[in-house]
Structure 1
Amino acid sequence: MTNQILNRCLALDDELYATQIIDNYLAQIPGFVLVKATTDVYEGIRLVNEGLIDLVFLDIQMPELNGLQFLKICGNNCKVILTTAYPEYALDGFNLDAVDYLLKPIEFERFQHSLTKFLALKSSTTPSSAPAKDHIFLKGDSKNTFHRVAFEDILYIEGLNNYISVYTTKHRIVTYMALKDILEMLPAAQFCRVHRSYIISLTHIHLIDGRQVYISQKSISISEGYKTGFYQLINGQ
């Protein structure tokens, strides 16, 4: 009989009974083992960073450190399936590469589907060959509408108080987000903030004239506070 490779799981939730549901579901599915069920997010971080966990079932509303913060810290060391009663965090979860987003109460069939997605993702990539992310999802004007935007299509982004306006090669998207937050989601080698109100794509620059950058038909000023970082980036320093 061939030994089956077990996928090591962590259930992390601020309510212990919720982790017990995950435990019960996993016990019914071959190939998965629950290493730990805990309400302690810092214990979860330790287990992941020690290389003991392959898949985390993660609640978002956690005390001290929420699930999205956990994803930013540990997302490169494990896969994560979000388990939450709050649908409004789905976009953030997928932008941080969560495998799936399970809404409570979680049905067993939906749980099985998430594990199938995890296994498919695991079989298609390895730690040394995982494909680089090439897009981001942005919320649209209407409820439950999301735009998939390829990084290569973004020309520049303009900050508008609590909103941003993303100009692409195809269209313009206005969405509720801070400029600094979208900058964290963009590849640092490709995008640069050049002004309090602007992020630009280095790929689409066709002219730099002193303190002015020209992208498509737009002229954008490079402000004093950002000029050093900009010139270091374009000069490869």
Structure 2
Amino acid sequence: MNLRCLIIDDEQAAINVLSNYISKTPFLELAGTYLDPVQALEVIYTQPIDLIFLDIHMPEISGLEFIKLLRGRAKVILTTAYSQYALEGYELDVVDYLLKPIPFDRFLRAVQKVKEIQSSGEKTVVSPVPAAYAPTTTTNDHVFIKVDSKIMKVRFQDILYIEGLGNYVSIYTDSGRLVTLSTMKEVEEYLSDTYFTRVHRSYIIALNKVEYVEGNQIFLNKNTAVPLGETYRDRFFKLLEENMMNKK
């Protein structure tokens, strides 16, 4: 069974590219293209549509606002030239996030995922993080990460803690928060075990930022607390004992 698709983008050139890609993909059927998202909404509410290729920056209604109006009527693949909206797309449960210019092989991976979701009846999930957005190699005291369109240097000594958000992570530093496309597992591989440890399935902390521990809460810099997960409790306290004056 073919997937009926709509393309919504305020640039005709972008529509032309996606239309061409859809025509080359046997299980996709193009049901319409729209420069105006308002007109597209009328179609979606009256016709069966399986998949929408949706731009973010559009007149009248942004792509992210458009998703909220859909109320789950169709799967969504975001197509945009701006990477900074990836986290919001994740939170709105899009299937994938394609950065323009979109290579055909990357397009195929995204639509194949939609096909598999439709076939299995699974809930929409976000695609794995593209390798190009994972943290780059580290040296002894810092890591390079991609944030929006920038590659930023983050010093280990500036990191307070890291919070996992599915296929994204928030890195909290002394000067603010940085969001990058990566996973907690990938982050662990890049960080030094000497300075950092995982204390929860969603949190990695800098050991030298720990002020005190109370119950199942770890307090960092006195006014920031993260949860201590039961799975990580023994290992965390063993690390603390190595620097404890009174070990009785």
> What TM-score range do you get, normalising by the shorter chain?
0.5 to 0.7
The whole-number CA distance in structure 2 between the counterparts of 1:111 and 1:35 is 18
Question: CA separation of 1:24/1:147 partners in 2, compared to 1, >3 Å: closer, same or farther?
Answer: closer
Question: CA separation of 1:166/1:56 partners in 2, compared to 1, >3 Å: closer, same or farther?
Answer: farther
Does residue 67 (structure 1) correspond to residue 98 (structure 2)? The answer is no
Does residue 110 (structure 1) correspond to residue 106 (structure 2)? The answer is yes
SS in structure 2 at match of 1:35 = strand
SS in structure 2 at match of 1:140 = strand
Larger Rg: 2
Report if aligned partners of 1:84, 1:102 keep a CA contact under 8 Å in 2.
Answer: yes
TM-superposed CA distance for 1:170, in Å, is: 3.6
SS in structure 2 at match of 1:144 = strand
SS in structure 2 at match of 1:119 = helix
1:144 aligned to which of 169, 180, 184: 180
Does residue 7 (structure 1) correspond to residue 37 (structure 2)? The answer is no
TM-superposed CA distance for 1:139, in Å, is: 2.8
1:28 maps to amino acid: K
2:13 aligned to which of 13, 17, 41: 17
Paired residues, what number?
152
Match of 2:205 in 1: none
Report if aligned partners of 1:139, 1:145 keep a CA contact under 8 Å in 2.
Answer: no
The whole-number CA distance in structure 2 between the counterparts of 1:39 and 1:45 is 12
User: Deviating runs (4+, > 3 A) in structure 1?
Assistant: 135-138, 145-151, 165-171
RMSD: 3.2
Match of 1:42 in 2: 38
The whole-number CA distance in structure 1 between the counterparts of 2:106 and 2:124 is 26
Matches within 5 A, 1:108-187: 108-125=104-121, 130=123, 139-141=170-172, 142-144=178-180, 167-168=226-227, 170=229
TM-score normalised by L of structure 2: 0.54
SS in structure 2 at match of 1:117 = helix
The whole-number CA distance in structure 2 between the counterparts of 1:139 and 1:51 is 39
Does residue 81 (structure 1) correspond to residue 77 (structure 2)? The answer is yes
Report if aligned partners of 1:91, 1:139 keep a CA contact under 8 Å in 2.
Answer: no
Match of 1:96 in 2: 92
SS in structure 1 at match of 2:180 = coil
TM-superposed CA distance for 1:90, in Å, is: 0.5
Report if aligned partners of 1:139, 1:147 keep a CA contact under 8 Å in 2.
Answer: no
2:76 maps to amino acid: V
Report if aligned partners of 1:54, 1:78 keep a CA contact under 8 Å in 2.
Answer: yes
Q: Is there any run of 5+ residues in structure 2 with no aligned partner, and where?
A: 126-164, 173-177, 185-199, 203-215, 217-223, 231-248
Matches within 5 A, 1:52-63: 52-63=48-59
Report if aligned partners of 2:94, 2:124 keep a CA contact under 8 Å in 1.
Answer: no
TM-superposed CA distance for 1:83, in Å, is: 0.2
Q: Is there any run of 5+ residues in structure 1 with no aligned partner, and where?
A: 156-164, 172-237
